[in-house]
Amino acid sequence: MTEASRPLTVMLVAAEASGDALGASLARVLRERLGADNVRFVGVGGTKMAREGVESPFDIAQLSILGIFESLKAYPRAMARLKDTLALAAREKPDVAVLIDSWGFNIRLAKALRRQDPDLPLVKYVAPQVWAYHASRAKDLAGAVDLLLSIQPMDKPYFDAAGLPNVFVGNSALAHDFSRADPTRLRQAIGAGEGEPILLVLPGSRPSEIERVMPPFEDAVHRLKAHRPELHVVVPAAGTVAELVKARVAAWPFRAHVVEDEGLKDDAMVAGTVALACSGTVTTELALAGCPMVVGYVTGAATYRLLKLLFKPRWVTLFNIAAQETIAPELLQNACKGEALAQEIAARLDDPDLRARQIAAQSAALDKMGRGMPDPSEAAADALMDFLRERGRL
């Protein structure tokens, strides 16, 4: 410990639901390794990190922002939250700060923390996707933090070249354990008989995604229910947007089941016949659960035009990129329309062989992505503890 009477103080900062999950898992493993009396956690996070003892000074939904114009409009609010986070660091005097994902917020925070306390060790957990676009961010990050914990094997050459020490810890989504998931429990909870089809609708974890993605998803579900009244609809909701999701689903003219419990979410992913999913981490989790899916996404027009210019891969879904083929159809931007989404989903609802082929292809792609590695949270904790020992902080 840094002082005999003071536990190691770890600051964790996550501004989105996926980062909240990473932060919670890292906190849990560090507490197991060091002992509950020897480590304490401060910082910014969501409901999962709160359960691990991280009391966030504000709701991270305020920082879950995508798109050029959305970011510009939210800039004053984000800078206010940045000041709140800096004040928290000044008050709590952490021994290390781990900044999780959320490039826009956390690169600014890293630079501000460096100015505020030049001796504070800074660790970035999850790299910006320099292999896909913005290769210059490797150099920017190298000048802002002391260590990178990366989740994609393709990150390493870029950050080695930039001179930033980095450790590949693996993708936590690939370590999601569905062994305890019980599809029968989910079916009983929603009143679905054995063999009756279940459609999962996963509209994202950011308020802007609910605003842009949910309308075409809703249109698709309405079209499907009109011809398939026996179809059960389940909407697993991220904690960051649960209230927004419930408000929208309450207005649907048919019954749909919003699921917030983490165990039931796993049950749903295993029980689902087909999923309609917003692009993001959840697509990897669905593939692990063995659920075929259709992927949709909508962002601001200007943001999409810029991404089309900068983004190198042909696909946005990680297992499609790993396989270098379209395993799950991607309906993005203008293609993300209710009718087109409904057609792709209907094809899978009606064709068991198509579902089976997609599930098998998804599984093979997960192997290419590194499925089967040790628990990434364990690897991240090991790398962080090694780093702190080198710095004399542990």
Nearest to 330 by CA among 346, 322, 341, 342: 341
The class of domain 8-170+373-390 in CATH terms is alpha beta
Q: Where are the beta strands (DSSP E) in 188-329?
A: 198-202, 232-236, 257-259, 274-278, 293-297
Residue 295 bridge partners (DSSP): 277, 330
Question: What is the average per-residue pLDDT within 355-384?
Answer: 93
Q: What's the predicted TM-score (pTM) here?
A: 0.74
| Model confidence band, residue 2 (pLDDT cutoffs 50, 70, 90) | very low
Q: What is the CATH number of domain 183-369?
A: 3.40.50.2000
**Cα–Cα separations (whole angstroms), residue 100 to 62, 64, 128, 177:** 16, 13, 11, 21
Terminal alpha carbon distance of the chain: 5
> Which pair of structure tokens corresponds to residue 209?
């995604």
pLDDT of residue 68: 47
Residue 6 bridge partners (DSSP): 3
Domain residue ranges of the chain, discontinuous segments joined by + = 8-170+373-390, 183-369
Nearest to 218 by CA among 346, 66, 300, 337: 337
One-letter amino acid of 229: P
Read off the pLDDT of residues 212-259 as tens digits, 9 standing for 90 and up.
999 999 999 999 999 999 999 999 999 889 999 999 999 999 999 999
Q: Which of 59-68, 165-174, 195-204, 315-324 has the lowest mean pLDDT?
A: 59-68
The domains spanning 8-170+373-390 and 183-369 adopt the same CATH topology: yes
pLDDT of residue 239: 86
Read off the pLDDT of residues 75-108 as tens digits, 9 standing for 90 and up.
788 899 999 999 999 999 999 999 999 898 999 9
Q: Is 213 exposed, middle or buried (0-12, 13-18, 19+ CB in 10 A)?
A: buried
